[in-house]
Amino acid sequence: MVIIREVFFKMTCIKKILSIIVFVINGLCCLLAQDFLEFEVRFAEYQKKLENKIVYNKQVLSEFEVERELESIFDQLYEIGFFEVVKDSCQYDSSKVKCFIRPKEQYRYYVEPGNIGEEILAKLSTDKYFSKSGITPFEYNKLTNKILGFFQNKGYPFANISLGDPKIRGDSIQGKLKIDRSNYIVFDTLEVDGDININSRFLAMHTGIKPDENYSEDVFENLEKKLSVLDFISVTRQPRVLFTNDRAKVNVGIEQRASNRFDGIAGAVYDEGADNPMRLTGQVNLYLTNTFERGEWMDLRWQGLGYGTQSLDISAGYPYLFYTPVLAEMQLMMRKQDSTYLHIQRKPAMGYRFKNNIRAKVFVDWRTSELLDAKRYKNAEKLPGSIDYRTILYGVGASYKSDLFNIEPRKGFNYSIQIAMGNRNIEKNNNIPDQLYDDIELESNQYMGQILLQRLFPFGNRSALAMKGEGGMIIGEGLFENELFRVGGVHSLRGFEEESIIASSYAYLLAEYRYVIGQNSYLSLFANSGYVERKTSDKYRYFPFGAGTGISQELPAGILSLFFAFGNRQDQTFNLNDIKVHVGFMNTF
């Protein structure tokens, strides 16, 4: 009996489930089979004037959608001055709905500046709002909001604007604007709740909340966003403001966020023609920020590229120098190319931070390079591919990066450009025959330019398309290998060895599909292609192509990344065995 009951119960459940499925399918079929109704609105005597101005859906499914469209139409009519609109009727048939509405008189505002100063109106570019032809209610609201926003950002958060002594004459509303500023408010202090060590003056400069300066509604509204941009801060509670005695005390909850990073990449390169076909490469990065509690940062990158080649890149930045918008930066790069040469590059820079995330900078790029084992060229008949030289370039640069670029894996952009010019001096090497220098200019002008464009395009719930374009060019007389760009690798042209492509000019485009599975985790499919040209004694030009796949996965101990890529170019035979494997691990502390 128990078995029969269990079987009967299971059969009953199955029948109910099947009934639900059938009901859902029928509902979907009915919905898909339902025909749309053509929807038309007539505006009585204003038909010709409004038929192209008012926007609405010309197809609807139900009476509910008709009412929703009519509500949107009434709102649009109100914005252009029709304060009174009468709905006469709506006629329905099997395929069409036609609604008749009668807008009454159309009003326009004719306003004068009133007690608002001409200098303020000139700053806000409001001349068009005071024309003799008048303005619509929508334009009137836009004008008053613009004026009100100005005063709210100049220390008057309780300002109020109205139309003084209004007069209605026919279809016109006339009056003078009247601003009531109320009390003048200044910022008091930015109080921080949370376990974090940070300099208060740095916070004041970064957020714009400075004691005794004008209260600004925009500054307060953007406070959380400004703090979230800092990679060492996590906002735990939304900002609050307390107005007392004409002063504004702002309070926010923040805490220290793990932002220091240590990561490394191990690479395996298969070189079929070499004695040891499997060659290991590596990279170690160390990034420290806010160590001295002033928002400063230091980035150290070391690369071992095999065959005795290694590079070291150290850069540091100190924001708000002397509590101004000035950013001081310094970069030191060293490269030892096997036993051929040692290259050293020093690049001090001073930048200025604008309010809208745009930065401009000036810099000096001082480069020196010397041959390491020049005795091998004692009996040479031509100059080697690399040379001893000193170059000083003076340049300017600009960058524009969104707040979300380093935070959100699916949104944001980063653009930068820099140009420089200066002099290159070739230094004669005592181990190279002197007559080999006769056919080259020892002193010449040199020009350099670089551009970087990055953008993330989100689509769907978890997907994003990451686009990156980069290019550079060096122009000068008689270029040598050790003064050219070096690209290639996981951070530039993927599918090629790190910095294996030597170019006087290059450009490439990377397209990467990301399926995001976590804040710092995603699956990746990518392809990149570019143009490379080398204008030295050993000239060439080709179009490299690379593609691959990979994964970046956040683990309790850090972020593990694994990428596989292959590359090909016209002067090489494609070999699927020549695949590049990049393994990386990043730990934050």
- pLDDT-derived band of residue 1, with 50, 70 and 90 as boundaries? very low
pLDDT over 50 (residue 31)? no
Q: What percent of the chain has pLDDT over 70?
A: 89
Top-ranked range on mean pLDDT: pick from 305-314, 524-533, 562-571: 524-533
Query: Is the pTM here over 0.95, yes or no?
Result: no
Q: Which residues of 271-323 form beta strands (DSSP E)?
A: 278-289, 297-306, 309-318
The confidence score (pLDDT) of residue 6 equals 33
Long-range contacts of the stretch 204-213 (C-beta < 8 A, 24+):
204/323, 205/319, 205/320, 205/323, 205/324, 205/325, 206/230, 206/295, 206/319, 206/320, 209/250, 211/186, 211/187, 212/186, 212/187, 213/186, 213/187
CB 78 within 8 A of CB 69: no
pLDDT over 60 (residue 7)? no
pLDDT over 60 (residue 296)? yes
Distances (CA, A) of 490 to 138, 410, 421, 450, 531: 52, 19, 29, 19, 17
| pLDDT (average), residues 185-192 | 94
More confident residue, 401 or 498: 401
Query: What's the CA gap between 181 and 161, in Å, rounded?
Result: 8
pLDDT in tens, 375-434: 999 988 899 999 999 999 999 999 998 876 766 767 889 999 999 999 999 999 999 999
More confident residue, 306 or 509: 509
pLDDT over 60 (residue 20)? no
CB 291 within 8 A of CB 199: no
Tell me what the pLDDT averaged over the chain comes to: 87
pLDDT in tens, 442-460: 999 999 999 999 999 998 8
Which is nearest to 315 in space by CA: 336, 290, 345? 345
Least confident of 185-189, 515-519, 568-572: 568-572
Residues ≥6 apart with Cβ < 8 Å to 287 = 259, 260, 261, 262, 297, 298, 299, 300
More confident residue, 35 or 110: 110
| pLDDT (average), residues 97-119 | 93
Task: Compute, in degrees rounded to 10, the torsion defined by CA atoms 21, 23, 26, 31.
Answer: -110
pLDDT over 90 (residue 148)? yes
pLDDT over 70 (residue 212)? yes
The confidence score (pLDDT) of residue 500 equals 85
The confidence score (pLDDT) of residue 338 equals 86
- pLDDT-derived band of residue 277, with 50, 70 and 90 as boundaries? low
